[in-house]
Chain A
Amino acid sequence: MTPRKQPEQRIELVYGTLDMLILRTLRWGPTHGHGIAKAIERMSDENLKVEHGSLYPALQRLQQEGWIAAEWGVSKTNRRAKYYRLTSAGRRQLLNETSRWERFVRAIAGVLGGARSEEAK
């Protein structure tokens, strides 16, 4: 059992990034809601706080945009579950979002880095 971080130490998701994270996890292949939640936690080293329930409104929205598609299947543990997969539109959207995010991070880091070096003076 991997030790779980206490909820207080987890980071709240930046508004709007959940969509990107979902699309990202689906790049390795179709999976169900529970699988997506687990993958996000794993990938972020348990740093990101995702309430599992909050995935579902996001999944509806992504379906409406046509970025993901859903169909019922059977899980490894033999449970019926709804599997989501990335569509080609979703793949394009992921690329856009990722590059936008990277620019955003660079910009923020630049500002903060500048601030730090000024403090150092």
Chain B
Amino acid sequence: MSWRRQLSKLRKLFNRQTPADLNEEMRAHLQMEEDENRDAGMSSEEAHYAALRRFGNVTLAAEKSRDMWRWHSIEILLQDIRYGLRQIWRSPGFALSAVLTLMLGIGANTAIFSVVNAVVLRPLPYPEPDKIVAAYLVNPRDPAFRTSHGIADFEAAHDRQKSFSSFAAVEQGASYFTWTGGKEPVQVPGTAVTAEFFSVLGVSPALGRSFAAGEDVPGREHEVVLSHAFWQQHFGSDPLIIGRTLTLDGASHTIVGVMPAGFHFGVRDNDDLWPLRQLPTPRIRPPYFLQSIGRLKPGVNEAQAQADLSNIAADVQRQFPQSEYGEARIEPFKNLIVGEARMPLIVLLGAVVLVLLIATVNVANLEIAQASARDREMAIRAALGAGRGRIARQVLTESILLAALGGILGLLLAYGGVTLLRALAPGGLPRLKEITVDGQVLAFTAAVSLLCGVLFGLAPLMHGFGSRRNQAETLRGGAQNLNEQRERRGLRNALIILEVSLSLVLLVGAGLLLRSFERLTNTSPGFNSRSLVSGLLSLPKARYPKEQHIVAFYDQLLERIQHLPNVTSAGLTLSLPPDLLNLTNPFFVPSQPPSPGMSPPVAVEISVSLDYFRTLGVPLLRGRFFTDSDRGRPDGILIINNTMAQRYFPNQDPVGQRIKTGDVSPDTPWEAIVGVVSDVKYTGLDSGPEPTLYVPYFERGWTSFSREMFLVVRTSGDPKALAPALRAAVQELDSNMPLADIHTMDELLSNSVAQPRFRMLLITIFAAMALLLAAVGIFGVMAYLVSRRTREIGVRMALGASRGNVMGMVLGEGLRIVLIGVAIGLVEALALSRLIKSWLFNVQPVDPVTFLGVSLMVIVVAAWACYVPARRATKVDPIVTLRYE
């Protein structure tokens, strides 16, 4: 059809009186023919009928002419939609339950998909994000062991690489900068970066400039770039801010730029400051604390860049022969950001898809029930000439209409859900700020709704709805064809089995996570967490340049705090349990040297104050704690944990043994073990025992590592109430020093299980939804079956069946289906539970207790859903039913 015809039709569509003069025109035609016939000598009656014969079917011709002016398909669609809406209006109970069910399913899916979309699918918010890569080092003999760059590696890579248009490094680990000069000192989150950081990301400041190449060498002025939010909040969006200075960690930094609103460095979403990191010339290769990132030059691929950096890494290794990293690895920058978040999100998405499947199955069952009630209507339509395709079209329009309503409500639910998710999500979920309901999410919801509508719309069509087979039977008002009834029942039973099995899978997942979470929260961190409070101190180099200044400050502070009311004891530590680990170090035990070419073993190493163990309540197993008399010792001393003692000093007393730590060479001094304490967890409650070394913070070389220390205080009162007194004690000593991140130990423990709690919560919510939907589904089907079989039951009872018999019959039938569903569900769960293996702590994916408990729960709930309709069946009065028919 040509566009011109479509256009004329479009005009007519809004002007529904299609050729009104058509009838007149055709009447004139007939008259003329009649005139002619009369002129030819026919009688007037004969002339009239001859004209009509010649013309053919007048009504059909008129109808066809009018059809020429119609947009057939659209008109039929509009007609079907109008009809569908009326249908919904006519059976509000059915429509409401279908729409609400779909709302739950689609809403949950939309919410989780928004998260997956923002975190995993959407490209990073930088220009040409695929060009940005992260660089690592590996040991060629032990390639599983991967590390980031040290200063020597970064400098060499930066100066000699040929593959990147820009190359930069960021300092790893969460870091805060103490900003003084405002009302009171505050800790501001930020990341120290090298000069080309912003060019790698491809984002320029909205105000001022970014760092210039070559500014990141010692001796140059300190510079800093601010986030848009920080600039707004603290400087009232002052356009003249550029060039002013900010005192960070006691050093004056010139503000050179302000980033555009919304800019964030994916790894650390909340950063407000990007100070320029000045890198000194290194004497040794470690520590490896710089994450290098680069933007590939056009035409250079990752393999070429990796070869380029590998050559450089080999050179650096020759320069530092003790080190073992001689090769480079390149990975997409996105992996660095999204990394471990991907798999859990996809499992969550899988879980909500199951919920949606159950919801769809439920609605399909409702539709089948509804279809049985509408058999007569459909039979009449078919008898009046509606084709099977036409009826299918009508039914699908109705189901898609329902799905669309469910989708719209689901979208509203998802808006709320996304807000809730953003609030509940534990720290560590990357790109949290990017989670929104956007166009892609809308498209997803629309597609999912459409798919659901088609799926559950097909259910009633699959079995006889609208078929011509027994219209006559139906029209006569007789009972349904038995075969057809049986087929429909078969389909419904299959749907129930599917529903039960899927909800069982989700419940098993939830059960496993619940058990795992319970075990996790009951795990001891290795000390008594009650009545402990902690805070973070950081001593800026500018005001505490020498080791003695640091030691003096800490000694005075501990002295003061120990004399505060309600304080039992106070200590300092470089790493804070349960999961704030700051440093690991290689070590060398003479009795167990590493095999040649392999990386040396690594231990957690922590500098602590004298009273640290007493404050936490970590028991001493052998030897002694550190004492005042250890101050000023020329040699190094260590306390080790139980795991270290058992693994490296089996069958001997470790106290008195000597080991080396750090970069081990013949010149490295020996350190003596003076005590053994029990294990404490520093890398999360779910971590296994790790070898740990403790050193006194006042030991030579360690003091300067101890500028950032956690203060831990045990109190006899409420730990929360102690915070102001602690803050005051710090300020009395140094009015420019904040005490940041004050938390009770119980809070820290709770935060450390926030991620497993979040996952467990979501899966449990989904599983509960699934179970509820499945129960409603079973209930609906059983209730329908009972109502359909009222007569049969009446006959049975009239023939002498007892109530117990009837109850047993109905319950038995329902439970048989449920048990099949449970059996299939158990097999599915066995196959799928491995997916969450990495989330489980001390629970096997095939935990028999969980599998058994969940099966019982499903059976009990399903039995209840069968029992209510079954009881109704026993109330059937045989006389009434028999008379009724």
Chain A contacts to B: CB under 8 angstroms:
1, 32-34, 37, 51-54, 56-57, 59-61, 63-66, 72, 75, 77, 79-82
Contacts and interface: CB of A to CB of B under 8 A. Distances in A.
Nearest to B26: A56
A82 B56 contact: no
Given A53-B61, A56-B25, A57-B65, 6 more contacts: A33-B29, A52-B29, A53-B56, A53-B57, A57-B64, A80-B28
Contact of A53 (B5, B24, B28, B55): B55
A43 B64 CA distance: 26
B2 interface: yes
Given A57-B65, A61-B5, A64-B4, A52 B33 contact: yes
B421 to A, nearest CB: 54
A17 to B, nearest CB: 18
A53 B58 contact: yes
Interface in B1-53: 2, 4-5, 8-9, 19, 21-22, 24-26, 28-29, 31-33, 35, 40-41
A51 B68 contact: no
B62 A56 contact: yes
A100 to B, nearest CB: 16
Leading 9 A-B pairs by shortest Cβ distance: A53-B61, A51-B56, A60-B68, A53-B56, A34-B32, A57-B64, A64-B8, A64-B5, A52-B55
B843 to A, nearest CB: 72
B9 A79 contact: no
Contacts of B4: 64-66
A81 B5 contact: no
Given A34-B33, A60-B69, A82 B60 contact: no
Contact of B22 (A37, A54, A56, A75): A56
A81 B30 CA distance: 11
Contacts of B633: none
Contacts of A81: 25, 28-29, 32
A116 B244 CA distance: 103
B29 A65 contact: no
A11 B5 CA distance: 30
B64 A56 contact: yes
19 contacts: A32-B29, A33-B25, A33-B26, A34-B29, A51-B56, A52-B33, A52-B54, A52-B56, A53-B55, A53-B56, A53-B58, A54-B61, A56-B65, A57-B61, A60-B19, A60-B68, A61-B5, A77-B32, A79-B32
Contacts of B5: 61, 64-65
Contacts of A59: 65
Contact of A64 (B9, B28, B31, B62): B9
Contacts of A80: 24, 28
Contacts of B60: 53
Contacts of A60: 19, 65, 68-69
A1 B40 contact: yes
Contacts of A77: 32, 35
A51 B32 contact: no
A25 B56 CA distance: 21
A59 B66 CA distance: 11
A6 B377 CA distance: 46
Contacts of B22: 56
Contacts of A52: 29, 33, 54-56
Nearest to B59: A53
Contacts of A66: 4
B3 to A, nearest CB: 10
A79 to B, nearest CB: 6
B25 A75 contact: no
B473 interface: no
Interface centre among A53, A63, A81 (most CB of B within 10 A): A53
Contacts of A65: 2, 4-5
B67 interface: yes
Given A56-B22, A56-B26, A64-B5, A79 B31 contact: yes
A93 B4 CA distance: 14
A41 B725 CA distance: 112
Contacts of B25: 32-33, 56, 81-82
A61 B68 contact: yes
A78 to B, nearest CB: 10
B270 to A, nearest CB: 64
Nearest to A77: B35
Contacts of B58: 53
B8 to A, nearest CB: 4
A37 B32 CA distance: 11
Contacts of A56: 22, 25-26, 61-62, 64-65
A57 B22 CA distance: 10
Interface in B58-90: 58, 60-62, 64-65, 67-69
B68 A82 contact: no
Nearest to A82: B25
Given A52-B33, A53-B60, A65-B4, A34 B28 contact: yes
Contacts of B24: 80
Contacts of A37: 29
Nearest to B28: A81
Contact of B21 (A51, A64, A82): A82
B35 to A, nearest CB: 6
Nearest to A2: B40
A80 B31 CA distance: 10
Given A54-B56, A60-B65, A60-B69, A82 B28 contact: yes
Contacts of A61: 5, 68
Nearest to B22: A56
Interface string B321-352: 00000000000000000000000000000000
